[in-house]
Structure 1
């Protein structure tokens, strides 16, 4: 990022180091514009920020960025090399991103040690954890775009931050900070912050057109063009469009749409200014668990007739279905998937007041309509005969004259039996639609100072304000489906002695209409004050400390619910339909807390240093916690304590970053949501308050013994445990899970990358070898998700100065690796650990992508 440079030695003031901010109200916007207008009136001194891209694929060597300047997670604005940072930070440059060609934001996280990433959900709504975080989604890891949060609360219910972000060629580089100062300079970021920094016209990127083909029906075009206008102005435009059948066979065009971004920026070396406008209109599928079983040796295996690596239960049979309710039916359109329509305007600038003081300001306004339609498999996978035996008493009692039950397809195409699809299995399927229109505005304004006093100081004091308004409308019907790729809806009917239908448990495949109903309106106001100082005490010793106070106010209303009978005597599916009453329960909550961090870095030599840091921080409750429970009184700030010690070393052939860490979350509220397949609704959730504690070590290393060969290694070992997790369950039994491993998080993660550089560096090829040890889908650790290893291939060749081609093969050996179990079975104890069949979400099977790009 181009930035302001005070005339002091080689200090480089980066614009990208500011935390996030927001604007919505006129007074906030006015303050930002006034600051930027002042910025443009200052004297000009030309400077560049050194954001140059490498020109050859070989420069994309992982970990070979020891001297790169970092701007994320900091108070001051002066130049700071990665080697001198007093916190754990990883960087991905332009060429690394082009080589690996990530499918989603979550895929970039995989290239950072310490992060456990579940990208098996597709391009949106994935889960990210680091250093013992006990929460899902992006609730404790901030996703930033140009140092400003994509969403202030990244874990808002059914609205993960990555649904409002798409990765494309407009991204120039990525910086990832784990733990440490992230939670002080970013909201909801105790686990870290990942900052996606975009291209600008003043960087003179020129232009690029790139076409990508994937063997799953993927056709995608990325393009951008940037140009400097005169000495100080630049313009940039870029984006992508693609259509795809999906990484699992959905039976229809699953992904379709794109993004466009336009930017105008000013930089005279002392002052900078940028306006960025982004539009997303894109729909992608959300992939969910699939049925699995065990082979004769007790290993996890495919169910007959179902390919767990490539199939999905969702498909045309569960698309465009009418879910009955009071009034007109709700038309559930699965082909919409997760559909994001978003318009975002961002303004940022830096104004150098004098040689000591500077103002940095960032503001963003977002207006989005986000629809999430997906088919969530639920309950136990059962043999048809067992299922019919279980429901038969209910059907026979409800319909006099019925002497037996039968399963038949809802579309009238036939009757099911024990051999249907080669497995004779059925399972529940929730057709869930969630609409979340959201309007959000953020502003962050910071005063920075660089001065000498007992050493050299880079200090900052700032304020972040956010205003978010959203609706949350949720409706669901629970179906019965068969088990095959693109499953079909199944009806269960009662028949008389002649085989005539006399009544039906289901209707059009629905076991229950209206099994979930929510209608919510919320307004959230967040205010944070922070200050920090990076104090260079001696040439070798630097101390930095910072503190943050934050308050969130949650106001809104949640419609009260009742059950209604739609009045069809021929079926039981419409007897208990959840609906709104027209009466609302108000929500009025306020929480605040403060945290601080203290770090030290000692540089024995330019390429060798050590650091230590202690952080006492927090996470405030989310408005999403009240979407379904407006009267809850159990929410409060969660105290978080973190410590880390790191060693950094670099030489011509060897780089090493090693960090030992400790993390403790205190008083976390764990909620057990379990979908009851008898009542076809969620049981009243159990809530347990407990702690978590994690010890661990992260490694990021690179060995380059020769120009033609290098070997990169990223590894994380950790021991994530629940502490004090003891409670009495609904049956009166005391459950003690103290010391159990955190759900879904492996103890060991290894990513080894051997690579070769050929033809004077014009060709780079590498293998990514990922290994993850066993995990558990529940807090009881009753079911094992086995260890697995994936092998991926990446290659890129610079054919001419302007033409490049690339190859990406994911999961080369088509490994079956499970990332999560069945969350709808409950997070405390899944309860079906000894079942022959179960639900879990695997990684994608082998996929191949080819790309060709023309730069100019």
Structure 2
């Protein structure tokens, strides 16, 4: 048989040549970083009232139009003197810092970094208790936690703005919020962001996230960024979601999430928003921490980091984690194991900056799939008698290693390999002060990864053993004419399957996918401040990417009992004497080679974006921008044919999909143009209102062509989004509210249904539109006393439009119309509340969380309802000494059976109802308990 397809040879296209040149030039510039002399400083009008020093520094930065970084623990509890008059930035800052124990470490035209310095004859005042930040809350008055790099996500300009001045919705999760909530996965963290619909029931990787009714799964509309550079250019690559390429650990300082707004202008494939993970810097903080965590089902994890300032200009950070886990629904072997390490080196001096970051991930995590359920007499889901949906696993030792065929020959399928990602990413970032309020910014990321994704996907619906035998009787009689009766036997020992009339069996697909990916991303950006009818903070950027990947997939279909750690079953034909004369299966395998695909793809991407943040007056800002992007795809896909391996005693090897030696070439070019305009008006220093309209797009993902290179249903999808909101922040109360409307046009929807009779997939695609209207609310209340409260809510009405088509059912045309139906798996109402209490002089904090999701539907026809549910959680953190901290976290305290999705293998158009009442759905995880102890270094 032919060997694997090799990467397609390719001509140097103009877009690719420009992208390659951009990458080279960015790399050279980052390595050189010449020092540029400062221009003579301009005079500014300052009016900073006396008060809290941290707030005064933030107000000074806003009036000076600079970014300021400072050690919060030094500024905390101090009061500043008033500052008023026309003077240079340097003079104003010197007056503000006099006698405060802070001095300038580095300074450029747009960024100032402060550090602690000795103070003569001045005793430091007793510090006030630090504000208690609930998970997901924003700190309204003080700056973020100590000495973190301030990166405002969703903007190209570096000039800081206050919350009341923002013209889009942003949620920030600080480091102490991450520590307090201890999310079980990256996707679980996003539940702290209103407007995001999250399915984190797949485990630590391979989950789904949407924003504001955007009807695409995975991470196809929400971009992941690490310090404002994409973690992966296209987060929707088949079987390679972005959350497989990234893990949260102690090297992350905070997280910022933008819903909609201008995110799509500055980040690829981000029409719904961007989540930016901002990492620690050795220039901004010192010390470190080691955290040991243990939990149920054998969970054990160690996290750690160390930050060190080498000199005034250089700092380093090193850290990572290692973890082992028996599993959320234990399969009888180690479910998760592996970890991540990071090393970062930072330089800031002479007005310039340079950062190098190296991250290596080698982690293996289980992908959790739907479990069997049945409809009770009241029509509500309930457990099947032989299976606990919260604790049991169909996967087990007997399905861990199964002999299969990978399309080229025999292979040993290893289910315990799970989703295994080995990734190395090297990132360079830097800025050069060009003088005259202008800067050059550059970023370059090289990433090489190898991802294997092995999983057991349940198929069809559970049925009794007798019912299953009835479905194969005709084929078995034709293949083995002397058949007297059919029977079920356990595959390994040949023992009779008990009570076939009542005991349940099910089908499953053992699917193996390999996706090695090599990627280079680069962006160069020029920003400047101009004066013309107000102040303009303008930016012009060019970004490019080149990535290649291989896609190899094979699958075998098996028959199993419906039980925890299910055993494989053979269906056999018996003669009149009870002897076995033939087998439908072979060692439990119903069909070898039920799926096979091989593809090699290469993509060149080029994007240009420009923006202007225009301050018309002290109270009014207008910002607008545009993005043009073009992708060029070049690849080839292997052809297929069916072969019979020739074993006359079984039907399992009669139809294997294998490569036929031919290849289909793919070459296409897609482009899109988007723009956004927003405005903000400050009604007071505490209250701002904003409005925004964005016209964005989503280019076709290259992985849509992995198996169908000649498909014609993939085009650039236009997306329109309107927003109206307000931001209000005072000392004890913080409120963000946004009304939004989203419209998709010409979006392809696929029904990917597994046919249990032929053990093969059948795909149907239809084009339709969607419209969503909704509201997001985020509030933080911290009154006097020990209590505080966070409330988040998302209400949305998401509907399909123009979704009418003709479907063939039993060779007869049937008219279907899903127009007006609710979007698949999107709840109309999602609520999250966190109430906290701080005791013992803030040394003990207890939080209770509640998350409510209203009824959803598992299919587009809205035939299978997923009931509403409520999840309760508990988080406790206690400061035992100045260096030792103890924490405890309980998720799903009440062991609620909450269903997040149905079984997509049964199709997404109309799953219908089953005659026996059995079905598959994927639940939230059962009660999870974890205890941790942290030691500050």
Out of 760, 774, 779, which is 1:696 matched to? 774
Q: Is the 8 A contact 1:22 1:363 kept in 2?
A: no
| From 428, 442, 460, the counterpart of 1:347 | 428
Alignment match of 1:719 (pick from 797, 810, 813):
797
1:123 and 2:143 are equivalent in the alignment: no
CA, structure 1 residues 98+269, in 2 after alignment: closer, same or farther (shift >3 Å)? farther
Q: Distance in 2 between matches of 1:429 and 1:105?
A: 28
Question: In the TM superposition, what whole-angstrom CA distance separates every residue of 1:19-56 from its partner, at most 9, and x where no partner exists?
Answer: xx999987444312332245353469998524858996
Q: Corresponding residue for 2:101?
A: none
Structure 2 spans left out of the alignment, 5+ residues: 1-14, 40-65, 77-128, 144-149
Distance 1:329 1:97, change over 3 A: same
Name which of structure 1's ranges 821-830 and 350-359 shifts more when overlaid on structure 2: 350-359
Report the Cα distance in structure 2 between the residues aligned to 1:711 and 1:654, rounded to whole angstroms. 10
Does residue 629 in structure 1 map to residue 649 in structure 2?
no
Q: Does 1:330 align with 2:411?
A: yes
The answer on 1:49 being equivalent to 2:69 is yes
| Distance verdict in 2 for CA 1:44–1:502, change over 3 Å | farther
Gap change, CA 1:307 and 1:23, over 3 Å in 2: farther
Distance 1:47 1:395 in 2: 75
Residue 277 of structure 1 and its aligned partner are, at CA, apart by: 0.5
Is the aligned partner of 1:39 residue 2:113? no
Q: Structure 1 CA distance, aligned partners of 2:721 and 2:540? A: 23
Is the 8 Å Cα contact of residues 488 and 500 (structure 2) preserved in structure 1?
A: no
Who is 2:382 aligned against? 301
Deviations 1:589-629 (A, max 9, x none): 10111010000000111110100000011100010010010
Cα deviation digits, residues 324-343 of structure 1 (max 9, x gap): 35653121101110000011
Please give the alpha-carbon distance, in whole angstroms, between the structure 2 residues aligned to 1:736 and 1:245: 45
How far does the alpha carbon of each residue in 1:713-739 deviate from its partner, in whole angstroms, 9 at most, with x for none?
000000000001100011311101111
1:561-598 deviation line (CA, Å, top 9, x unaligned): 01000100000011010000111000001011101000
Q: Find the counterpart in structure 2 of residue 72 from structure 1.
A: 153
The 2-side partners of 1:102 and 1:212 are apart by: 13
Secondary structure of 1:706's counterpart equals: coil
Q: Is the 8 A contact 1:85 1:601 kept in 2?
A: yes
**1:202-256 deviations in Å (ceiling 9; x for gaps):** 1223111000101121110001111011101001110001111111111101111
**Larger displacement relative to structure 2 (291-300 or 437-446):** 291-300
Of the three residues 484, 497, 507, the one matched with 2:576 is: 497
Alignment of 1:584-623 (within 5 A): 584-623=663-702
Contact 1:326 1:566 in 2 (8 A): no
Match 2:879 to one of 794, 798, 815:
798
Corresponding residue number in structure 2 for 1:30: 24
1:305 offset after TM fit, Å? 2.1
CA contact (8 A) 2:444 2:520 kept: yes
| d(CA) in 2 for partners of 1:168, 1:666 | 39
Say whether residues 1:113 and 2:194 are aligned partners. Answer: yes
Give, in whole Å, the separation in 2 of the partners of 1:466 and 1:658.
Answer: 36
Where does residue 216 of structure 2 map in the other structure?
135
Q: SS of the residue aligned with 1:854?
A: strand
Q: Where does 1:496-515 land on structure 2 (aligned, <5 Å)? A: 496-515=575-594
Instruction: Flag the 1:22–1:699 CA change in 2: closer, same or farther, 3 A.
Output: farther
- Counterpart position of 1:11: none
Pair 846,40 (structure 1): closer, same or farther in 2 beyond 3 Å = farther
Q: Once the two structures are superposed, what CA deviation does each residue of 1:671-705 show, in whole Å capped at 9, x if it has no partner? A: 1111000000012x211111000000000011222
Aligned pair in 2 of structure 1 residues 30, 583: CA closer, same or farther (>3 Å)? same
- Distance, in Å, in 1 between the alignment partners of 2:406 and 2:178 is 47
The whole-number CA distance in structure 1 between the counterparts of 2:254 and 2:406 is 48
1:23–1:257: structure 2 CA closer, same or farther, 3 Å change rule? farther
In structure 2, what is the equivalent of residue 746 of structure 1?
Answer: 827
Deviation at 1:833, TM superposition (A): 5.3
Query: Shift of residue 765 of structure 1?
Result: 1.0
- Aligned equivalents of 1:59 and 1:710: distance in 2? 9
- Residue 575 of structure 2 is aligned to residue 522 of structure 1: no
Question: Which SS does the other structure have where 1:390 is aligned?
Answer: helix
Aligned to 1:579: 658
Q: 1:398 to 1:494 in 2, by over 3 A?
A: same
Deviation of 1:378 after TM superposition, in Å, equals 0.8
Which residue is 2:930 aligned to? 849
Contact preservation (8 Å) 1:383, 1:418: no
Q: Is this contact kept in 2: 1:740–1:781, CA < 8 A?
A: yes
| Matches of 2:848 and 2:713, distance apart in 1 | 48
Under a length normalisation based on structure 2, what TM-score does the superposition of the two structures give? Answer: 0.87
Displacement, 1:134? 0.6
Match of 1:18 in 2: none
| Structure 1 partner of 2:648 | 569
Going from structure 1 to structure 2, the CA distance change for 1:650 and 1:721 (only over 3 Å counts) comes to: same
Q: Do the aligned partners of 2:210 and 2:216 also contact (CA within 8 Å) in 1?
A: yes
Q: Say which is worse superposed, 388-397 or 538-547, in terms of deviation.
A: 388-397
- CA separation in 1, counterparts of 2:67 and 2:756? 64
Residue 312 (structure 2) aligned to one of 204, 221, 231: 231
Give the SS at the match of 1:211: strand
State the SS of the aligned residue for 1:36. Answer: helix
Q: Structure 1 CA distance, aligned partners of 2:23 and 2:707? A: 34
- The whole-number CA distance in structure 2 between the counterparts of 1:151 and 1:597 is 24
Structure 1 length normalisation: TM-score? 0.95
Residue 3 (structure 1) aligns with: none
Which region of structure 1 is more displaced relative to structure 2, 33-42 or 588-597?
33-42
Instruction: For 1:750-769, list aligned pairs within 5 A.
Output: 750-769=831-850
Residues of 2 paired with 1:757 and 1:297: CA distance? Answer: 43
Distance 2:914 2:292 in 1: 45
CA contact (8 A) 1:449 1:459 kept: yes
Whole-angstrom distance in 2 between the partners of 1:33 and 1:591: 27
**What is the alpha-carbon root mean square deviation over aligned residues?**
2.0
Q: Which runs of 5+ in 1 are unaligned?
A: 1-20
* Cα displacement (A) at 1:65: 1.5
Distance 1:241 1:559, change over 3 A: same
Aligned mates of 2:322, 2:443 — CA distance in 1? 28
Aligned counterpart, 2:467: 386
- Superposed CA deviations along residues 450-472 of structure 1, whole A, max 9, x for unmatched, are 12211111110001101010000
Rounded to whole Å, the distance in 2 between the matches of 1:26 and 1:622 is: 21
Greater displacement, 574-583 / 44-53: 44-53
For this pair of structures, how many residues does the alignment match? 833
Partner of 1:58, secondary structure, is coil
Distance in 1 (CA, whole Å) between partners of 2:256 and 2:878 is: 25
Aligned counterparts, 1:533-552, within 5 A? 533-552=612-631
Contact persistence 1:145–1:197 (CA under 8 A): yes
Contact 2:373-2:918 at 8 Å conserved across structures: yes
| Whole-angstrom distance in 1 between the partners of 2:168 and 2:250 | 28
Q: 1:777 aligns with which of 851, 858, 873?
A: 858
* 2:261–2:692 contact (8 Å) kept in structure 1: yes
Please tell me whether residue 808 in structure 1 is matched to residue 889 in structure 2: yes
Q: For 2:67 and 2:686, locate their aligned partners in 1 and report how far apart those are by CA, in whole Å.
A: 26
2:33 match: secondary structure = helix
Q: Is the 8 A contact 1:460 1:531 kept in 2?
A: yes
Aligned with residue 740 of structure 2, among 661, 664, 667: 661
Aligned pair in 2 of structure 1 residues 606, 350: CA closer, same or farther (>3 Å)? same
Runs of 4+ in structure 1 over 6 Å off: 21-26, 44-47, 53-57
Residue 678 (structure 1) aligned with residue 757 (structure 2): yes
Alignment correspondent of 1:556 = 635
Matched residue of 2:27: which SS?
Answer: helix
